[in-house]
Structure 1
Amino acid sequence: MELARATNRGVRLRNRALLLSRLYLDGPLTRPDLARSTGLSQPAVSNVVADLIDEGLVVEAGVAEPDGGRPSMRLRVAPGFAAVLGVDVGETRVRVELFDFTMTQLAGAEYPLDPARTEPAQVVTHVLAGIDTLIGGAGLAPGHVLGVGIGVSGVVEQGAEAVVHAQALGWDRVPLERMIRAGTQLPVHIDNGAKTLGQAEMWFGAGRGARNAVFALVGSGVGAAVVTNGTTYRGASSSAGEWGHTTLVYGGRACRCGARGCLEAYVGAEAIIDRYRAARRGQPVPGADEESQLAALVEDAGRSAVARRVLDETAQFLGAGVANLINLFNPERVVLGGWAAVALADLLPAVRAAAGRQALRQPYGQASIELCRLGVDAVALGAATLPIARLLAAGGVRP
């Protein structure tokens, strides 16, 4: 009898997870829509939906247009069920954002970092300040917040607690999760920023509908998330996707990681600006930070042959890097994201052409190369989905 009850509970939880996930990612949907798309029976769908409505997870969203039959009520997840926080720990700033349950942004806060010296303790101070500021400003009870997701540069080793290895930042086995948990009671989820960007684009952006895709993050540094059969590939210790530290030019430019000739040493924003500065014979690049300096380079390309040459070279390097991704992973889609990729959006046709010259014809012909759709906040948005993904997998049952 106990075994039967346990089995029934397990089936019900799986049904809840299936239906809640479908509503979250594809809603609003009617009960017949849910039955058709999940293969569950109408009575099973109705029973689970009734529970989800009673618990405040799902709400009715108006009557669907009848299609020759009886009108049906649309259902969607309830925006006010809970809030989540997403954090983008970049190399020049920490961005903290507050979202409702449907990922509508409610508020945000930003804290600058010194890119020459990104100290873990300073990052933790900014993250905790942002959490307190946004929750307090919104007047939320801590229990209303599902958790905080954090996207960070480097390798995030998952285990009992997340540990960050960021060689380019000088971080070695930084116990970032433990440090943040010491200052908040909220559940904390940490992952690599390229992987959180990839999850955001898979759920809401340029990756929707793809089963095999690569999401390339181009910012101060460079990374990637590889999705195979709908699942992010992590490798033996979550370091898969360190695309920026694949060798582009053997013995080439020095990279921040200590090696030479890495892709990041040519197409990361810091490297692009450094190449531009060298092309200007050491003259300073206008702007107070990397974002404004890269913007100045893009603007200067309209009147300066030097700036145009640097951008043309950048497109060739980036295209070669994309070709490597296509040859290695055979994706149906490559999505370029990150603030630097957005700033360099006009290079996309040249990147595609360069990738076409370097990649094998057959896999290149199957792949599309696209710009991200969620803009510069995709890392924080994707980070905020981490606690939501945990809740969806649990069928909406909070721990």
Structure 2
Amino acid sequence: MPERHRRTVRDLRRGNRARLLRSLYFEGPLSRQELAAHTALSSASISNVTADLLADGLLEEAGSVGSDGGRPRTLLRVAPDAGSLIGVDVGETRIRVELFDVSMTELARCEHPLKDDGHNVAHVVRLIADGLRAVRSAGVPHGPLVGIGVGVPGIVEEDPARGGAVVHGQTVGWDAVPLESLLREAARLDERTTLFVSNGAKTLGQAEMWFGAGRGARDAVIALIGSGVGASVITDGSAYGGAAHGAGEWGHTTMQLRGRRCRCGAHGCLEAYVGAEAVLERWREAGGGAAPGADEETALAALLASGAPAAADVLAETAEYLGAGIADLVNLFNPERIVLAGWAGLLLGPRLLPAVREATAAYALRFPAARATIELGQLGADAVTVGAATLPLSRFLDTGGVTDRAGPTASPGATARRAGPVAVRTGERGPGRLAPKG
């Protein structure tokens, strides 16, 4: 007869710490009395757990509020200096690495453009390792490292025999790349350093669900429109397929039989019609185009600024294709919210959103379409990096500030006050302090 699983005192303690940390992170600051209502823990448990978390440096006092005729109630919040997080975006044109505190305030960043070597694996691994070293040695005071998250193009498979995460990135020429083991070796990360690798569209989706346009939704699709196209599907509050695997490969659903050739090698994919690379190619075929040598972002901005009839036709066609693709998502998943994000989505969105909504309504079933709203993402170009950093952050919260590899995460005494975000290399400022509500 199999032995029944029994929860130990340690399990209960960790579970209570996790419930309290999550409540304070997403709803705080809160008083101890409010925590009891949010967590359903007893007053004695709240008192014991908050004392432990305060002693570990994971919580701090955040002022007080008056009570009805009694003493003021002290408010608590998760201490920003309780730890630090690193998010990495293996993008289409650059590698971006950012260091955050646990409140998701950017402390330092490093960016490397992807030029002639493109997505050559050794080149990408070297740039990520350089970025990790740069932000960790930027001279900005920060708490102990909670972990590193990396957003990549393609499908991510866990393969312990090959050292962890293996990436299948067909559009960038990655065939079963053992990225986790390569990164650990190149950056000299020991086994105690928590490292997550996930699909970039999924990390973006988690960022928008936690901090951006997806907040409050239980069923949503976060669409990443860049040079290529991806999506993160959220059903009943959870990412479809699990956080460590590939997102729904929406960009490689077939839009037209024997249609345009996609970067993946197939024909007729949605990406071959609405990805920035494909949109610009159709504009060139129509007789337009940006100045020679312009990067994709500059070229797409030029298309939007053009008053030529050919440019207007390409944009109208793009809106219809995108609306038809979203209609497929509406019919399949019945989401309450669709969020258009990614650098190209945020460039195209303000111009195309009305036409995209109209096309979606025309191609989708009426009942689920009436339930869904289509909105623009709120986190800008940093969304993948922010989302990558939430991977170790989520584990930090779920374990009550304790990791299996590194034990309790605690601030090293009273960590020195930060002098403000530092740009290690060129790049715009990150999202700043985010308000993690809902």
Taking structure 2 as the reference length, what is the TM-score of the superposition?
Answer: 0.85
CA distance in 1, matches of 2:213, 2:179: 30
Which residue number in structure 2 is paired with residue 132 of structure 1? 133
Question: Do the aligned partners of residues 17 and 117 (structure 1) sit closer, same or farther apart at CA in structure 2, a change above 3 Å counting?
Answer: same
CA distance in 1, matches of 2:18, 2:243: 28
Is the aligned partner of 1:297 residue 2:336? no
CA distance in 2, matches of 1:165, 1:21: 33
Which residue number in structure 2 is paired with residue 21 of structure 1? 22
Instruction: Give a deviation string over 1:132-171, Cα, whole Å, max 9, x none.
Output: 1111113558x82222110011011134311000111111
Which residue number in structure 2 is paired with residue 216 of structure 1? 223
Retained in 1: the 8 A contact 2:224–2:345?
A: yes
Question: Do the aligned partners of residues 116 and 131 (structure 1) sit closer, same or farther apart at CA in structure 2, a change above 3 Å counting?
Answer: closer
Of residues 320, 327, 330, the one that matches 1:326 is 330
Per-residue deviation, 1:187: 2.5
Equivalent residue runs for 1:297-376 within 5 Å: 297-300=303-306, 303-346=307-350, 347-376=352-381
Which residue number in structure 1 is paired with residue 101 of structure 2? 100
3-state DSSP class of the match of 2:137? helix
Which residue number in structure 2 is paired with residue 163 of structure 1? 166
Retained in 2: the 8 A contact 1:298–1:307?
A: yes
The gaps in structure 2 that reach 5 residues or longer are 407-438
Instruction: Give a deviation string over 1:339-361, Cα, whole Å, max 9, x none.
Output: 11111122112111111111111
Instruction: Give a deviation string over 1:4-48, Cα, whole Å, max 9, x none.
Output: 996222111111111111211222122222211221122211211
Per-residue deviation, 1:309: 1.3
CA distance in 1, matches of 2:243, 2:109: 35
- Supply the AA of the counterpart residue of 1:153: P
Question: Do the aligned partners of residues 259 and 389 (structure 1) sit closer, same or farther apart at CA in structure 2, a change above 3 Å counting?
Answer: same
Question: Do the aligned partners of residues 240 and 200 (structure 1) sit closer, same or farther apart at CA in structure 2, a change above 3 Å counting?
Answer: closer
Per-residue deviation, 1:99: 0.6
3-state DSSP class of the match of 1:249? coil
CA distance in 2, matches of 1:194, 1:363: 23
3-state DSSP class of the match of 1:208? coil
- Supply the AA of the counterpart residue of 1:169: V
CA distance in 1, matches of 2:198, 2:329: 21
Question: Do the aligned partners of residues 278 and 81 (structure 1) sit closer, same or farther apart at CA in structure 2, a change above 3 Å counting?
Answer: same
Retained in 1: the 8 A contact 2:198–2:243?
A: no
Which residue number in structure 2 is paired with residue 58 of structure 1? 59
Is the aligned partner of 1:203 residue 2:204? no
Retained in 1: the 8 A contact 2:230–2:247?
A: no
**Which region of structure 1 is more displaced relative to structure 2, 50-59 or 64-73?**
64-73
CA distance in 2, matches of 1:69, 1:198: 44
Per-residue deviation, 1:278: 0.8
CA distance in 2, matches of 1:359, 1:65: 52
Which residue number in structure 1 is paired with residue 429 of structure 2? none
- Supply the AA of the counterpart residue of 1:311: L
3-state DSSP class of the match of 1:56? coil
Retained in 2: the 8 A contact 1:287–1:293?
A: no
Question: Identity, % of aligned pairs?
Answer: 55
Which residue number in structure 1 is paired with residue 74 of structure 2? 73
CA distance in 1, matches of 2:324, 2:68: 50
- Supply the AA of the counterpart residue of 1:212: D
CA distance in 1, matches of 2:268, 2:74: 58
Retained in 2: the 8 A contact 1:273–1:285?
A: no
- Supply the AA of the counterpart residue of 2:251: G
Retained in 1: the 8 A contact 2:290–2:303?
A: no
Of residues 393, 396, 402, the one that matches 1:397 is 402
3-state DSSP class of the match of 1:118? coil
Instruction: Give a deviation string over 1:215-273, Cα, whole Å, max 9, x none.
Output: 11111111111111111111799334100000011111000111101000011111111
Instruction: Give a deviation string over 1:298-321, Cα, whole Å, max 9, x none.
Output: 111xx2211111111111111111
CA distance in 2, matches of 1:4, 1:178: 33
Is the aligned partner of 1:144 residue 2:151? no
Question: Do the aligned partners of residues 116 and 180 (structure 1) sit closer, same or farther apart at CA in structure 2, a change above 3 Å counting?
Answer: closer
CA distance in 1, matches of 2:267, 2:254: 8
CA distance in 2, matches of 1:270, 1:15: 49
3-state DSSP class of the match of 2:81? helix
CA distance in 1, matches of 2:280, 2:103: 38
3-state DSSP class of the match of 2:35? helix
Kindly report the root-mean-square deviation, in angstroms, between the aligned alpha carbons of the 2 structures.
Answer: 2.2
Is the aligned partner of 1:232 residue 2:236? no
RCO comparison, higher one (Cα < 8 Å, 6+): 2
- Supply the AA of the counterpart residue of 1:335: V
Is the aligned partner of 1:177 residue 2:180? yes
Question: Do the aligned partners of residues 396 and 236 (structure 1) sit closer, same or farther apart at CA in structure 2, a change above 3 Å counting?
Answer: closer
3-state DSSP class of the match of 2:402? coil
Count of aligned residue pairs for this structure pair:
393
Retained in 1: the 8 A contact 2:108–2:140?
A: no
Equivalent residue runs for 1:383-394 within 5 Å: 383-394=388-399
Which residue number in structure 1 is paired with residue 274 of structure 2? 267
- Supply the AA of the counterpart residue of 1:316: E
- Supply the AA of the counterpart residue of 2:302: A
Which residue number in structure 1 is paired with residue 83 of structure 2? 82
